[in-house]
Amino acid sequence: MTEPGDHRENYSHEDEVLERIEAWRRRRPKLKDEFINSAHGAGGKASAALIDAVFLEAFRNKTLESMSDGAVLELPSGERLAFSTDGFVVKPRRFPGGSVGDLAVNGTVNDVAMMGAVPQWISAGFVIEDGFSIAELRDIVADMAAAALKAGVTIVTGDTKVVDKGACDGIYITTAGVGVVPAGIHLDAKSVRPGDKVVVSGKIGDHGVAVLIARGDLALEADIPTDSAPLGELVEHLLAAAPNTRFLRDPTRGGVATVLNELAREAEVSVVIQEDTIPIRNVVNGACEILGIDPLYVANEGKLVAVVPAEEADAALAAMKAHPFGTDAAIIGEIREDPPGIVIINTFFGGNRIVDMLVGDPLPRIC
């Protein structure tokens, strides 16, 4: 039997090491690579490092530096516009429940909605490979038209470029979206306060798993369609019921964990979530278990994460649950002061662990 005294002198050393790591973690991630790799697109630390070191460095301005999903621009009249853009390169282009066309519209609609705006106008740019099937193009565009109708937006301008065979993978779509931010709505990570509640609008992990399965390499079969959906109306109802909502973001690439980490960093607060409150479909959970992927890091295309003041949490929840895209909404956590910049999950089991930022592309775990 080992003696209990053996470790006492090491406790302060461990605290030192832990503090050093925390300080290191809170620094903006540095870019050391010379070449782009898949991690830079995954939405985690490598992506953040790339954006910081290459884009922010060159394009320096306050609006960009606020780093939300989109920009809020003030017009001379005093009205505010929300403006956002996104690129869509998903493979396979068609997956259960949708296609790249749906994502291209809903993705940008949602980014605009996350700024509190009512999405109205979309632009669509297409880069198409020589030899691409026009029939497939028609299908994708039909999906976009249907999604736009459902979302209440119009596609008002666009562009098409054709590149040589092999110069792009089939088709790449970039959409930008504009909407008006109603007076009085100010969503900002920095307005988040300890005591606020964290709410998610529904079951997580559907989209990422649907696409992974659709790729076919893992030979899994499951009834998991994408959750791609336009959230403009859901946001309107939410803001009507909870006008002091602090923050909204859609957990796309990198999942809920990435959004919460971004929030913790930007607001310099701690986010604590309860594992047993996180809504997830059994079958999505099963797929994640088989592959050894954590559903908190899996992309969603029809969900939002909201931070609302505690006194408005019940109203916010009720408003979301009353909407078809929010029926499974749940309060999953709260904001605390300490330790700042860190996201913690209280496990089913009564323990806890840190939910860190994604490191690279999430690779299914075998062990």
Partner 1 sequence: MKFVDEYRDPAAARSILEHITRLAAGGHYKFMEVCGGHTHTIYKHGIENVLPDTVELVHGPGCPVCVIPMGRVEDAIAVAETPGVIFTSFGDMMRVPGANGNLLEAKARGADVRMVYSPLDALRIAVANPDKQVVFFAVGFETTAPSTAVTLIKAREKGIENFSLFCNHVTIVPPLRAILASPDLRLDGFLGPGHVSTVIGNRPYRFVPKDFGLPLVTAGFEPLDILQAILMLLRQIDEGRCEVENQYTRAVPEHGNIKALEVINTVFELRPHFEWRGLGFISQSALKLRDEFADWDAELKFSIPGVRVADPKACQCGEVLKGVIKPWECKVFGTACTPETPIGTCMVSSEGACAAYYNYGRFTKHQTVPVQLTSPAKTPAAV
Partner 2 sequence: MCLGIPGQVVEIVDPNDHRAIVDVDGVRREVNVGLVMGDAGGLQVGEWVLIHVGFAMTKLDEEEAASTLEFIKQLGSVYEDEIRDFSQEAPL
Question: Which among 250, 200, 254 has a CA at the least distance from the CA of 229?
Answer: 250
Tokens 């075998």 correspond to: 366
Residue 164 binds to partner 2 (criterion: CB under 8 A): no
Closest separation between CB of residue 234 and partner 1, Å? Answer: 17
Q: Does 364 bind partner 1 (CB under 8 A)?
A: yes
Is residue 75 part of the contact set for partner 2 (CB under 8 A)? no
Report the nearest approach of partner 2 to the CB of residue 344 (Å): 25
Single out the residue of 143, 218, 210, 200 nearest to residue 326, CA to CA.
Answer: 200
Q: Is 294 in the site for partner 2 (CB under 8 A)?
A: no
Binding partner of 188, given partner 2, partner 1, none, CB within 5-8 angstroms per partner class: none
- By CB under 8 A, what part of segment 302-341 binds partner 1? 310, 313-314, 317, 328, 330-334, 339
Site for partner 1 in 216-235 (CB under 8 A): 217-219
Which residue carries 């809020």 as its tokens? 72
Residue list 188-207, contact with partner 1 (CB under 8 A): 197, 203
CB of 242 to partner 1, least distance (A): 12
Of the candidate residues 242, 287, 319, 331, the single one contacting partner 2 (CB under 8 A)? 287
What amino acid occupies position 193?
A: R
Query: How many residues sit in the footprint of partner 2 (CB under 8 A)?
Result: 17
Q: Rounded to 5 degrees, what are φ and ψ at 262?
A: -60, -45
Q: Are 130 and 162 in contact (CB under 8 A)?
A: yes
Residue corresponding to tokens 């565009």: 141
- Residue 161 binding: pick among partner 1, partner 2, none (C-beta 5-8 Å cut-off by kind): none
Distances (CA, A) of 193 to 152, 245, 267, 270, 345: 33, 11, 8, 10, 18
- Which residue's CB is nearer to partner 1, number 187 or number 332? 332
Q: Which region among 95-103, 213-221, 260-268, 318-326 touches partner 2 (by CB under 8 A)?
A: 213-221
Using CB distances below 5 to 8 A depending on partner kind, what does residue 280 bind out of partner 1, partner 2, none?
partner 1
Q: Give the span between the Cα atoms of 345 and 267, in whole angstroms.
A: 18
Instruction: Please tell me the number of Cα atoms within 13 Å of 229 on its side-chain side.
Output: 20
Residue 292 binds to partner 2 (criterion: CB under 8 A): yes
Binding of residue 256 to partner 2 (CB under 8 A): no
Residues from 29 through 48 that contact partner 1 (CB under 8 A) = 29, 32, 35-39, 45-46
CB 112, min distance to partner 1, A? 28
Binding status of residue 283 toward partner 2 by CB under 8 A: yes
Please say whether the dihedral angle defined by the alpha carbons of residues 234, 239, 240 and 242, taken in this order, is positive or negative.
positive
Write a three-state SS string for 239-269. HHHCCCCCEEECCCCCHHHHHHHHHHHHHCC
**Window of 134-142, 282-290, 310-318, 326-334 that interacts with partner 2 by CB under 8 A:** 282-290
Amino acid code (one letter) for 339? P
For residues 256 and 250, is the Cβ–Cβ distance under 8 A?
no
Q: What span, in angstroms and rounded, lies between the C-alpha atoms of 103 and 229?
A: 8
CB of 365 to partner 2, least distance (A): 6
- Characterize the bridge pairing of strands 94-95 and 80-88: unpaired
**In the complex, which residues of this chain contact partner 2 (CB under 8 A)?**
218-223, 282-283, 285-287, 289-290, 292, 365-367
